[in-house]
Amino acid sequence: MSYQEKKNIVSLISTILIFGSYCGAVYVRYNDANLAGAELFRFWGAVILILIPVTIVAKVIIEIIFIIINRIATKEVEPSFADELDKLIELKAMRMSYFVFVLGFLLAMVSLVLRMTPSVMFVILIFSGFISDVASSVTRLYHYRKGV
Amino acid sequence: MGQSHISNHIRSLRFNHNEMTQQQLADQVGVTRQTIVAIEKGKYSPSLELAFRIARVFQMPLEDVFAYEEDPVQ
């Protein structure tokens, strides 16, 4: 298995773990909270704004740990640059990621039209962000394994 | 993902050039080893520029390194 494949598997697992842990923590802490009106929007705004840096920091830490463990275990040095194949795969992954997120965004708007609660809209938005990240990793993994 | 229409003789050419490793070829043409692996397996058709760089390493014309194979269905 190549370095890029291993890196994407780690990225996929870390995305699922970080998002799952964060959602679990938010659910346990605010499950009983009875929020309405402006407070509800403030809550969801905070949930999204905190999720972004938490995800970035956790992913960076996990990637550093992966690089160290991989270097010790396989003596393999990570590529120091992205070549044309890497850039092409990255573009395909980004396109898939945007496509999935836009679908989720539209679904969130549909939930508002159908008079669902704002919480449903925010949950769909957050999940579409998560699914788009997973789709990006899966697309990269697929193209590294099967070719372009 | 289907196999590319472009085949190549890179593996045999490497062998005939002092058993050049994939990493050595990758370093000479400025890509990662993973990309050379993908090209050799027919999973990736390189850009024209990269194809010329690979051919230049082996000091051969492009068509002696790469070949375009027509789709049998067409």
pLDDT in tens, A84-135: 999 999 999 999 999 999 999 999 999 999 999 999 999 999 999 999 999 9
Residue A147 is nearest to which of B32, B43, B46, comparing CB atoms?
A: B43
Q: DSSP 3-state assignment of B6? A: strand
Q: Is A146 on the interface with B (CB under 8 A)?
A: yes
- The pLDDT assigned to A33 comes to 80
- Render B26-61 in DSSP notation, one character per residue: HHHHTS-HHHHHHHHTTS-PPPHHHHHHHHHHTTS-
Burial of A80 by CB count in 10 Å (0-12 exposed, 13-18 middle, 19+ buried)? exposed
Residues in chain A, overall count? 148
- Structural domain for A124, as ranges: 3-146
Q: What is the mean pLDDT of residues A70-88?
A: 89
Mean pLDDT, chain A, integer? 93
A60 min Cα distance to partner chain B (Å): 23
Q: Is the pLDDT of residue A60 over 80?
A: yes
Instruction: List the structure tokens of B68.
Output: 């375009």
- The pLDDT assigned to A76 comes to 80
Query: B5, B8, B25, B32: which to substitute to probe chain A, counting the most A Cβ within 10 Å?
Result: B32
A82 min Cα distance to partner chain B (Å): 8
Tens digits of residue pLDDT in B10-65: 999 999 999 999 999 999 999 999 999 999 999 999 999 999 999 999 999 999 99
Of A11-20, A75-84, A134-143, B51-60, which gets the smallest average pLDDT?
A75-84
- The pLDDT assigned to A79 comes to 83
- The pLDDT assigned to B15 comes to 94
| Domain boundaries defined on chain B | 6-68
* CATH number corresponding to B6-68: 1.10.260.40
Q: What percent of chain A clears pLDDT 90, i.e. is strictly above it? A: 80
CB contact under 8 A, A84 and B46: yes
Residue B3's pLDDT band (cuts 50, 70, 90):
low
CB contact under 8 A, B34 and A144: yes
- The pLDDT assigned to A95 comes to 97
Total of domains in chain A = 1
CB contact under 8 A, B32 and A148: no
Q: What is the mean pLDDT of residues A68-94?
A: 91
